[in-house]
Chains A and B, each alone.
Chain A
Amino acid sequence: MTPKILSVDDSKTIRLALGRLFRPFACEWRDATNGEEGLAIAIREKPDLIILDCNMPVMDGVAMLRKLREDPELKRTPVIMLTAESGLENLAIVARLGVRDYVTKPFREEELLAKAGRIIPLIPRPGPRTTL
């Protein structure tokens, strides 16, 4: 089955950049602009991986992560936190909430792909066929 990835970030630039990064791989892509919207999509879509920003309006990433962990159907969903903050305090909080990994913005594309690839299969989409 094709893995489903949910990106939750209030920055449109980051959502577009991540969508572009994962486009060459066979995966379904969903995105949300804050934790509240992300949680609703997660409940409906049951993603295989969530890439979650920390600092967002309405509901931040840590609050969304707590809600995910309270939900019996979503509590084991792998989460990679993506944040501009690299404080040890934040790291400790999200580690307690069982995040699979943590990437600090700005990130190297290959670093995020490697971390995601350890959680879900990232299989290149077949290229366009050439007919003679």
Chain B
Amino acid sequence: MTPVTHRPDLHRIGESAFVEVLDTLLSLPATVRDPTGLSPVSDALDQITGTVHLAGQRLSGSVHVQLPLSFVARAVQFLTGLDGTSKDAKAVLDDTAGELANMVAGRVAARLAADGYPCSLGIPSVSRGARLPSETQRGMDHGRADLICEGHVLSLAVQCRYAIA
């Protein structure tokens, strides 16, 4: 018989981590976006993507969180009291997006560890206008979640490659 290898449900893990971070940090309720609905999708140019790499003995991967600039500006205002829409707010907008990705990745890592795949986090990186990684990369498990929060569409992708036992 071939042994059954349990693979974590990256979609479920990512989605619940994302919802928890938004609720705890910003006290904002988020709902899962209906994939059949007609919710607006923002232009990628108006988006900030925070990425955190995961590394462990049995797994390597990454967590990507894509957020509209207007949502991040609101988070900056809520957390720091600064005006996230001002001209000199770029650095703090990027930092906030990276930190949100870091917190989501931390929750994802905790759940992966509970599933038998412990891993540590890299330093967050941030890019503007980038698209989330697609599901077509070979050899990678992929989880994707889209949330609606305060009228904004927030997206997450988790990618993992597992070491062969």
**Which residues of A come within 8 Å of B, CB atoms?**
10-14, 16-17, 20, 55-57, 83-89, 104-108
Contact = CB atoms under 8 A, between A and B. Distances in A.
Interface in B73-100: 76, 79-82, 91-92, 95-96, 98-99
Please report whether the interface of chain A is mostly helix, strand, loop or mixed according to DSSP: loop
B120 interface: yes
A48 B109 CA distance: 32
Contacts of A17: 79-80
Given A16-B80, A84-B121, A106 B103 contact: yes
A86 B92 contact: no
B110 interface: yes
Contact of A85 (B76, B79, B110): B110
A88 B56 CA distance: 14
A107 B91 CA distance: 23
Interface of B: 21, 24-25, 76, 79-82, 91-92, 95-96, 98-99, 102-103, 105-107, 109-110, 113, 118, 120-121, 123
A12 B88 CA distance: 14
B19 to A, nearest CB: 12
A12 B92 contact: yes
Contact of A104 (B92, B99, B106, B113): B106
Given A87-B120, A106-B25, A13 B106 contact: no
A88 B113 contact: yes
B97 to A, nearest CB: 9
